[in-house]
Structure 1
Amino acid sequence: MKGTILMHIGLPDQAKFDMDTRNDSVKRACTQMMKNALRQQRYRLKKRWFDPYPLHLVRKTSPVKSMTHEQWNDLVESWKDPKKMAACEKNKANRAKVKFHQTTGSRSYVVHLDTLGDKYNNEVPNGLDYFKECHYSNKKKGYTPSVQSAITEMENMISEPTEGEEQPKSANEVVADYLAEHTKQPKFLQNVGIQIVQSRSSVKNVEAQLAAEKMANADLRSLVTTQRYQIEVLTEQLQEEKQARVRDKEEMQKKQAETDAKLDLLLSRYPTS
């Protein structure tokens, strides 16, 4: 977009922009900005005028001048869609499970970190530095309690190596181990462009997990074998009972036939007049 947007400074408190509106890059940038602004506006409207109320108490008139009543009602109907409401509840539940909320907004980690410039005096930041940068809230001027606790623990792990280790862990290893233990999908280092090096403790954790899974699989196979044997025994018992019923039925039919034959013989000796 270089050369397509020119800024002219007039009065000290004024700024004017000349844009080449036919340039494709300018069109895409403006379209994306408008989409983001519209998405944020809908989010704020939903949070303020829809979420706090039962469906039958949601207002029927537009709460803002920039939206007609018809547009507002169409928006409300889209929010009432059962599938969309179910998706919102699922997303809300997933967000509640997030322990360390990033504070980079809509920017990706990489884009956010590119804005740091020479903050680290041309030194390469480590994983803990990146973790602090991506979880610091400028609005609250600090970290959330969970993030602050995580930073403190990781700093302690770096400064006080675990006894028995041949050499202290690097900051990246500490962050990788800590996030692997406290999050379900520890991809933070990968997302900020740091190659995840599996530390010794991580290897031990993986080995322990594999051993536990192997034992669980062995128990499962044993259980399946036991159940299969029990099924075979029950099947055999049912087959024997079925055969016994068939034999009993045949025996009863045989006795009934003998009884009928004897009765016929007796009746034949006493002819009817």
Structure 2
Amino acid sequence: MPILTHWKHYKKDETHMKEFMGKLSVRLAVDEKDKPTVEACSDILQKVVRQRKYLLKKKYFTDIPANQVRTTSPVSSLTDDQWLELMQMWSTAKAKATAAKYRLNRAKVRHHQKTGSRSYIPHLYAYRQKNKDREVDAVEMFKVCHTSDKTGMTDEVKETVSTMENMLAQPAQDMETARSSTEIVSKVLTQNSAASTFLKNAGIETSVSKSVASAAREAQLREQLQAEKERADHLQEELDTLKKKAADTEESMARTQEEVRRTQQEMEEFRKKQEANDLILQRILGLKSGTGP
């Protein structure tokens, strides 16, 4: 599978998606006519491409002197032209600014994911399959997703897990029921960062996340209603302006019609006077001709 500069190129050329789904169908039952299945495969392919692009950049481009960067493709799945296009994209000012922003954000992360190339959900699914005989709580899930097979847990993760386990072991005080492991994980993580997404990304929904989602949805609806109201007010203003222009036009037309009527009346009166004058002139001329020498 080639690594292209933008996802829109994969959407434009459907052969890439068909090839990917064909490889998946060898191991899984994939219905290429089922829309949700196609969308899921598209999402998987997009993540695979993003990950491979990141690894290529990290290994063959980032922090490598310009005179040492390869001018030919470093992998067989990528042509030389495709590799050059990627390097040109990474060299733009916009791409460099985005990369710097991502590095800054990664530096702020306290709990780095240790699930390898897998996301939380498939990693936890595999872990649950190995532990079918018992229930795996949210604290253990957090620990599993942030423990490396080679290096174990970082000091930050150890501290967080210790806090979670201590809270889980404490008896409930002034509460009808003890806190669930999910609520404890949510509470500890939100203390460190209000924007923690572990539970959401791991497919674990809490009452807190539901209320937050509900509040976010309510805020979104309020914004939409406000936008609709502002649009309605704007349309009303335009309508009032058009009505005023139409009224001004009608008034102007009425004045014009009145002026035309007066002008026509004046012309009729002038015509009658002209006819009377012509008649008088004819009589005068007739009298003169009757008194000749």
| Whole-angstrom CA distance in 2 between matches of 1:156 and 1:226 | 56
Shift of 1:186: 4.7
Shift of 1:263: 5.7
Find the counterpart in structure 2 of residue 169 from structure 1. Answer: 179
| Whole-angstrom CA distance in 2 between matches of 1:211 and 1:40 | 40
1:160-199 correspondence to structure 2 within 5 Å: 165-176=175-186, 178=189, 181-183=194-196, 186-190=199-203, 196-199=204-207
Contact 2:124 2:141 in 1 (8 A): no
| Whole-angstrom CA distance in 2 between matches of 1:234 and 1:161 | 69
TM-score by length of 1: 0.51
Contact 1:62 1:72 in 2 (8 A): no
Q: Label 1:189 to 1:251 Cα distance change in 2 as closer, same or farther (>3 A).
A: same
Corresponding residue to 2:61 among 46, 50, 58? 46
Q: Which runs of 5+ in 1 are unaligned?
A: 1-27, 29-35, 53-57, 191-195
**SS of 1:232 mapped into structure 2:** helix
Query: Which one-letter code corresponds to 1:167 in the other structure?
Result: T
Two-structure CA RMSD over aligned residues (Å): 5.5
| Identical-residue share of aligned pairs (%) | 17
| Whole-angstrom CA distance in 2 between matches of 1:214 and 1:162 | 38
Matched, 1:127 2:134: no
| Whole-angstrom CA distance in 2 between matches of 1:186 and 1:89 | 31
Find the counterpart in structure 2 of residue 257 from structure 1. Answer: 264
**SS of 1:182 mapped into structure 2:** coil
| Whole-angstrom CA distance in 2 between matches of 1:215 and 1:37 | 41
Contact 2:113 2:145 in 1 (8 A): yes
Query: Which one-letter code corresponds to 1:171 in the other structure?
Result: S
Shift of 1:172: 1.9
Contact 2:199 2:205 in 1 (8 A): no
Q: Label 1:202 to 1:257 Cα distance change in 2 as closer, same or farther (>3 A).
A: same
Query: Which one-letter code corresponds to 1:247 in the other structure?
Result: A
Q: Label 1:91 to 1:155 Cα distance change in 2 as closer, same or farther (>3 A).
A: farther
How far does the alpha carbon of each residue in 1:54-105 deviate from its partner, in whole angstroms, 9 at most, with x for none? xxxx4387489x96xxx99646522245599799679846786675541223
**SS of 1:248 mapped into structure 2:** helix
Corresponding residue to 2:85 among 78, 83, 91? 78
Shift of 1:243: 0.9
Q: Which structure carries more helix by proportion?
A: 2
| Whole-angstrom CA distance in 2 between matches of 1:37 and 1:218 | 42
| Whole-angstrom CA distance in 2 between matches of 1:182 and 1:240 | 56
**SS of 2:62 mapped into structure 1:** helix
How far does the alpha carbon of each residue in 1:214-243 deviate from its partner, in whole angstroms, 9 at most, with x for none? 554554554455444434333322221121
Matched, 1:232 2:239: yes
1:145-160 correspondence to structure 2 within 5 Å: 158=168
Query: Which one-letter code corresponds to 2:183 in the other structure?
Result: E
- Count of residue correspondences: 218
Find the counterpart in structure 1 of residue 47 from structure 2. Answer: none
Query: Which one-letter code corresponds to 2:200 in the other structure?
Result: K
How far does the alpha carbon of each residue in 1:188-214 deviate from its partner, in whole angstroms, 9 at most, with x for none? 332xxxxx3533x44544554455455
Shift of 1:45: 0.9
| Whole-angstrom CA distance in 2 between matches of 1:219 and 1:37 | 43
| Whole-angstrom CA distance in 2 between matches of 1:128 and 1:176 | 10
TM-score by length of 2: 0.48
| Whole-angstrom CA distance in 1 between matches of 2:226 and 2:53 | 55
Find the counterpart in structure 1 of residue 248 from structure 2. Answer: 241
Q: Label 1:240 to 1:152 Cα distance change in 2 as closer, same or farther (>3 A).
A: farther
Q: Which runs of 5+ in 2 are unaligned?
A: 1-26, 28-50, 282-293
Query: Which one-letter code corresponds to 1:239 in the other structure?
Result: A
